[in-house]
């Protein structure tokens, strides 16, 4: 426990308007709505216009979160963005978002841990406020994955979409702490399971890299599938035990939205029924670090989250990386 406690004061999200359906993919390559729905649960995803970057989506989600929290941007002390699709490799997208919100001068930085961005980002934000370093921290998961999709790889092209989810974490008394437990992990021994080969220091961008589409997402889906379910379930069990809770105490399971079959397998092994599992994958596909905060924001929008509800967040992604958090909702 820290000097103080942490609670979530507001959550918002934003998704670009353009809808890309499974039928749209049927026109681009050899696939079918039936294959995509049965293998992934996805029906639609959102793509950003060419002139829209991650900071634009993040700023919209941030404003939504501020509005819901009844806070002004100048009441946020630090801005963190989790993304694998930053505006630029550097500077950090968070710096741009803070300036968009007229908060230039405030601390702002990015974390890059792929689809585990929110699972890592929420504990970082909570630790800042629990230790007294900041009063309020905004953590935004945002992706414009449409910009790095390899349309020549039908196995991965169908999966990804764009979106942003913003969460404001604020200091409360230690006795009112909502951050009950977290367990995080990573294994970089095979980064090529899910990665963007070119554009970094291992393989700087080149004409050959672009011609071979090495500047886009590459993925070994079947391998990731197996690891994902195991890691989500393992860490979820650890955090529940640490918080001295059982699956029956969980009001809402909010998993990373990567694949409906992964979500269903994890939920089944955790003994959490479908009506307690938050799923919006059919509308947005996999939005990486944005998926969990977007799902949380939609749950709040439906009026389904109540004071005292226990939330189990669980996710995994490139790295590989994974983790789970148990959080008590305080209205
Ligand atoms: C990608 C994924 C949906 C593929 O499903 P799968 O059941 O593992 O399918 P496979 O990759 O084994 O491919 C099975 C067949 O379908 C084909 N296929 C792949 N994509 C297809 C598509 N969009 N439409 C039609 N057929 C497709 C393959 O070519 C393969 O054909 P073959 O047997 O003739 O070689 C699944 O592996 C998955 O979701 N993995 C996790 C990926 C993930 O979550 N990544 C993000 C992590 S945050």
All structural domains of the chain, each given as residue ranges with its CATH number in brackets, are 5-176 (3.40.47.10), 179-328 (3.40.47.10)
**Ligand 1: nearest atom to the Cα of 224:** 41
**Which residue among 22, 95, 100, 115 is the active-site one?**
115
Q: Which of 22, 259, 280, 286 is catalytic?
A: 286
Token duo for residue 215: 């500047």
* Residue of 41, 221, 319 best suited for mutating to test ligand 1, as the one with most atoms within 8 Å of CB: 221
Mean pLDDT of 85-108: 98
**pLDDT value at residue 206:** 97
Give 273's pLDDT tier (boundaries 50, 70, 90): very high
pLDDT higher than threshold 90 for residue 55: yes
Q: Which of 142, 78, 93 is nearest to 115 (CA)?
A: 142
Query: What distance in Å separates the CA atoms of residue 194 and residue 191, rounded to the nearest whole number?
Result: 6
Residues 6+ apart with CB under 8 A from 320: 186, 187, 188, 190, 193, 194, 224, 227, 231
- Helix H or strand E encompassing 103: none
Tell me, yes or no, if 13 is annotated catalytic: no
Compute the distance from residue 318 Cα to the ligand 1 centre, in Å.
17
Give the model confidence (pLDDT) of 224-254 as tens digits. Answer: 998 999 999 999 999 999 999 999 999 999 9
Angle at 83 between CA 116 and CA 251, to 5 degrees: 40
Is residue 24 pLDDT above 80, yes or no? yes
| 286: annotated active-site residue | yes
Report, as an integer, the average pLDDT of 296-300.
98
Spacing, Cα 143 to ligand 1 middle (Å):
22
Nearest CA to 10 among 55, 64, 79? Answer: 64
- For a mutational test of ligand 1's pocket, the pick from 114, 155, 263, i.e. the residue with the most ligand atoms closer than 8 A to its C-beta, is 155
Which residue owns the Cα nearest ligand 1 atom 20? Answer: 155
* Dihedral sign computed on CA atoms, order 39, 40, 46, 48: negative
Please give the helix or strand (H or E) that residue 23 lies within, else none: helix 22-28
Q: Which atom of ligand 1 is nearest to the CA of 39?
A: 3
Which atom of ligand 1 is found nearest the CA of 258? 44
Tell me the longest C-alpha to C-alpha distance in the chain.
Answer: 58
pLDDT at residue 303 in the model: 96
Tokens of 116: 């585990």
Give the DSSP letter string of 116-166: GHHHHHHHHHHHHHHTTS-SEEEEEEEEEGGGG--TT-HHHHTTB-EEEEE
Q: Is the dihedral of CA 298, 44, 313, 9 positive or negative?
A: negative
Task: Give me ligand 1 centre to Cα 18, in Å.
Answer: 25
Buried-exposed string 47-63: b where 16+ CB fall within 10 A, e elsewhere? bbeeebbbbbbbbbbbb
Average pLDDT on 96-103 reads 98
pLDDT of residue 260: 97
Query: Could you tell me what percent of the chain has a pLDDT over 90?
Result: 98
Pocket of ligand 1 (CB under 6 A): 31, 35-36, 39-40, 115, 154-155, 158-159, 194, 219, 221-222, 224-225, 258-259, 286, 317
Q: What is the pLDDT of residues 115-161, one digit of tens each?
A: 999 999 999 999 999 999 999 999 999 999 999 999 999 999 999 99
Pairing of strands 44-47, 18-21: antiparallel
| Band of residue 1 on the pLDDT scale cut at 50, 70, 90 | low
Q: Is the pTM of this model over 0.75?
A: yes
Rounded distance from Cα 274 to ligand 1 centre (Å): 24
State yes or no: pLDDT of 2 exceeds 90.
no
Q: pLDDT digit string (tens) for 214-229? A: 999 999 999 999 899 9
Q: What is the mean pLDDT of residues 261-280?
A: 97
Which one from 100, 256, 259, 280 is the annotated catalytic residue? 256
Q: Please report which helix (H) or strand (E) contains residue 205, including its range.
A: none
The mean pLDDT of 168-176, rounded to a whole number, is 97
Q: Quick one: pLDDT at residue 169?
A: 98
Q: How far is the CA of 118 from the centre of ligand 1 (A)?
A: 25
Reply yes or no on whether 115 is catalytic.
yes
Closest alpha carbon to 267 in 257, 84, 22: 257
Distance 25 CA to ligand 1 centre (A): 14
Q: Supply the pLDDT for residue 263.
A: 97
> Is 203 exposed, middle or buried (CB count within 10 Å of its CB: 0-12, 13-18, 19+)?
middle
| Mean pLDDT estimate for the chain | 97
């Amino acid at each position: 426990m820290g000097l103080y406690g942490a609670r979530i004061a507001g959550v918002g999200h934003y998704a670009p308007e353009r809808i890309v359906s499974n039928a749209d993919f049927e026109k681009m390559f050899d696939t079918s709505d039936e294959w995509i729905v049965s293998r992934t649960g996805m029906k639609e995803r959102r793509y950003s216009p060419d002139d829209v970057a991650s900071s634009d989506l993040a700023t919209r989600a941030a404003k939504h979160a501020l509005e819901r929290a009844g806070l002004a941007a100048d009441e946020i002390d630090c801005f963190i963005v989790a993304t694998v699709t930053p505006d630029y490799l550097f500077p950090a997208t968070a710096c741009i978002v803070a300036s968009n919100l007229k908060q230039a001068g405030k601390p702002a930085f990015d974390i890059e841990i792929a689809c585990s961005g929110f699972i890592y980002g929420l504990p970082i934000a909570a630790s800042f406020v629990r230790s007294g370093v900041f009063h309020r921290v905004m953590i935004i998961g945002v992706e414009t994955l449409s910009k790095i999709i390899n349309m020549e790889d039908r196995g991965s092209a169908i999966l990804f979409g764009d979106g942003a989810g913003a969460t404001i974490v604020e200091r409360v008394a230690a006795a009112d702490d909502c951050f009950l437990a977290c367990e995080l992990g990573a294994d970089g021994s095979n980064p090529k399971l899910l990665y963007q080969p070119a554009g970094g220091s291992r393989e700087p961008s080149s004409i050959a890299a672009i011609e071979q589409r090495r500047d886009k997402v590459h993925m070994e889906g079947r391998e990731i599938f197996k690891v994902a379910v195991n890691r989500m379930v393992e860490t979820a069990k650890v955090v529940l035990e640490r918080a001295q809770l059982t699956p029956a105490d969980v009001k809402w399971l909010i998993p990373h939205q990567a694949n409906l079959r992964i979500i269903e397998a994890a939920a089944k092994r955790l003994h959490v029924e479908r009506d307690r599992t938050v799923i919006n994958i059919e509308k947005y596909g996999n939005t990486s670090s944005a998926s969990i905060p977007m799902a949380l924001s939609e749950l709040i929008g439906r009026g389904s989250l109540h004071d005292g509800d226990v939330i189990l967040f669980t996710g995994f992604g490139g790295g590989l990386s994974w983790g789970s958090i148990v959080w008590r909702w305080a209205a």
